[in-house]
Amino acid sequence: MTKQISSSTKVKSLSKRTIAVRSGLNSDEQHGAVIPKISLSTCYGFAEFAKPRSFDYGRKSTPNRDSVEQTIAALEGGVDAILTNTGMSAIHLLSVALLSPNDLVIAPHDCYGGSYRLFNSLSQKGYFKTQFVEQSNEQALKQALQQKPKLILIETPSNPLLRVVDIQKIAKLAHEVGAIVVVDNTFMTPILQSPFELGADVIIHSCTKFLNGHSDLLAGVLVFKEQSLADDVLWWSNNIGTANSSFDAYLLQRGLRTLSVRVLTQQESALKIVNFLNNHPKIAAVHHPSLPSTPGHDIAKKQQKGFGSLLSFEIKGSADKTPLFIEQLKIFTLAQSLGGTESLISHPTTMTHSGISAEARKAAGISDQLLRISVGLEDVNDLIEDLEQALNAI
């Protein structure tokens, strides 16, 4: 399939910050518009009989989608990318494209709730088989790999406890049995973690989160290291119809320009909040890859380029303190997404993880007091003051 490469993202040696800022700029040859146009047409005229141009039909590819795909591929160091209408549809597309009924998927026992539900429900329908494994447990992992899975999904840091697993080690073991290694890099973004350098074959993002960063669109992306795999999956993308709109692709490109500054500032603020909570007498525990008490801290130090802006914590005492605390907050919004410019707080028991049984939550270490924060771009002093006044009030 022909794809137009945006001129500003072709240069491999540019820093990620520059690649993101210059995404799709100066691509208008007619008027010299600096910012790319939104190309709403669903179909494209053929150059002549039997000669399509770069684009023919919008389900397959559009200029706006193509431009964002090239940018995200460049940011991750991949050869190609496929943009989809949600993160879940990216994972679904990959599953449909790669898996047959006898194939086994190994997924993390604590993976994103939507991924857990998708793998579980499709397995129950017989599309493929799934085994959920605690991937930091080397013995359990090796045992699962003996069944020669077709695909292994790695997600690190985990949600909501921010536990880190060793991508390089897991990828090496998985490759020994011929599995395709897929890393969900949503939490880290290409700025803070480079899964291809650690052995991944495919990278997934929910662009709904940090890549767009403004909580105003849904999108997902698959990034590939090998063109042949990308071409197979692209055929399926067109076959199923997983495309997103040109308008959303345009907005995503707009959000991407500030990716590096957002991610770096948000994680700087997160470190200050972690420090504040960790020293507060009313806090029982703080979970963040920067802390030696969080499993995988040593791996995070070598594997990640930073510790990220997601953290979770538990308030001391009875569970009724948690809703009281949330009620007192003036800045943080009680909502369950992440990676936006606005700071959000969520309560896994009643929100993201409410579909999981109480016993399973307990086994996974998710208490009813656990709260997760996605640190935004507000002044960190205001955020800390907000947390402090709410803690003082309970």
Q: Which residues in this chain contact ligand PLP in the complex, by CB under 6 A?
A: 86-88, 112, 114-115, 155, 184, 186-187, 206, 208-209, 218, 220
257 CB contacts (<8 Å, ≥6 apart)?
20, 21, 23
Non-local (6+) Cβ contacts of 33 within 8 A are: none
User: Is position 59 annotated as part of the catalytic site?
Assistant: yes
| Closest distance of CB 324 from ligand PLP, Å | 28
Report the residue number whose CB is nearest to ligand PLP: 87
With beta carbons less than 8 A apart as the criterion, state whether 369 and 319 touch: yes
Minimum Å gap between C-beta 279 and ligand PLP is 29
What is the CA 10 to chain-centroid distance, rounded? 24
Query: By C-beta, is 67 or 206 nearer to ligand PLP?
Result: 206
Q: Under a CB-based contact definition with an 8 Å cutoff, are residues 189 and 221 in contact?
A: no
Report the nearest approach of ligand PLP to the CB of residue 171 (Å).
Answer: 18
Strand partners, 287: 312
Structure tokens at 223: 């990034």
Task: With CA atoms as reference, report the closest residue to 169 among 151, 147, 142, 149.
Answer: 142
From 166, 184, 201, 248, active-site residue: 184
Q: How far is the CB of 16 from ligand PLP (least distance, A)?
A: 20
What is the rounded distance in angstroms from the CA atom of residue 349 to the CA atom of residue 354?
5
Q: Which is nearer to ligand PLP, 96 or 177 (CB)?
A: 96
Cβ 113 to ligand PLP shortest distance, Å: 9
Q: How far is it, in rounded angstroms, from Cα 57 to Cα 73?
A: 22
If the CB atoms of residues 6 and 267 are measured against ligand PLP, the closer one turns out to be: 267
* Cβ neighbourhood burial of 275 (10 Å; 0-12, 13-18, 19+): middle
Closest separation in Å from C-beta 176 to ligand PLP: 26
Query: Which of 3, 59, 60, 117 is labelled catalytic?
Result: 59
Structure tokens given for 362: 């307990």
Nearest distance from C-beta of residue 205 to ligand PLP, angstroms: 8
Q: What ranges make up the beta strands (E) of the chain?
A: 80-84, 104-108, 129-133, 151-155, 180-184, 202-206, 220-224, 283-287, 310-315, 333-334, 344-346, 370-374
Q: Which is nearer to ligand PLP, 25 or 207 (CB)?
A: 207
- Of the candidates 16, 110, 112, 116, the residue annotated as catalytic is 112
Peptide bond into 281 cis (omega under 30): no
Active site residue 209: yes
- Can 216 be counted among the known catalytic residues? no
Gap between the terminal Cα atoms of the chain: 60
Cβ 147 to ligand PLP shortest distance, Å:
24
Q: Which is nearer to ligand PLP, 184 or 248 (by Cβ)?
A: 184
Judged by beta carbon, residue 87 or residue 376, the one nearer ligand PLP is: 87
d(CA 302, CA 386): 33
Q: Which of 16, 163, 209, 254 is catalytic?
A: 209
State the burial class of residue 96 (Cβ atoms within 10 Å of its Cβ: 0-12, 13-18, 19+). Answer: middle
**Alpha helix segments (H runs only) across 133-245:** 138-145, 167-176, 189-192, 227-240
Task: Give the residue with the Cβ less far from ligand PLP, 6 or 212.
Answer: 212
Is 394:324 a contact under the CB 8 Å cutoff? yes
Cα distances from 14 to residues 17, 22, 27, 198, 350, in angstroms, run: 8, 10, 18, 20, 44
Catalytic residue check, 305: no
Q: Which is nearer to ligand PLP, 218 or 383 (CB)?
A: 218
Annotated catalytic sites, by residue?
59, 112, 184, 209
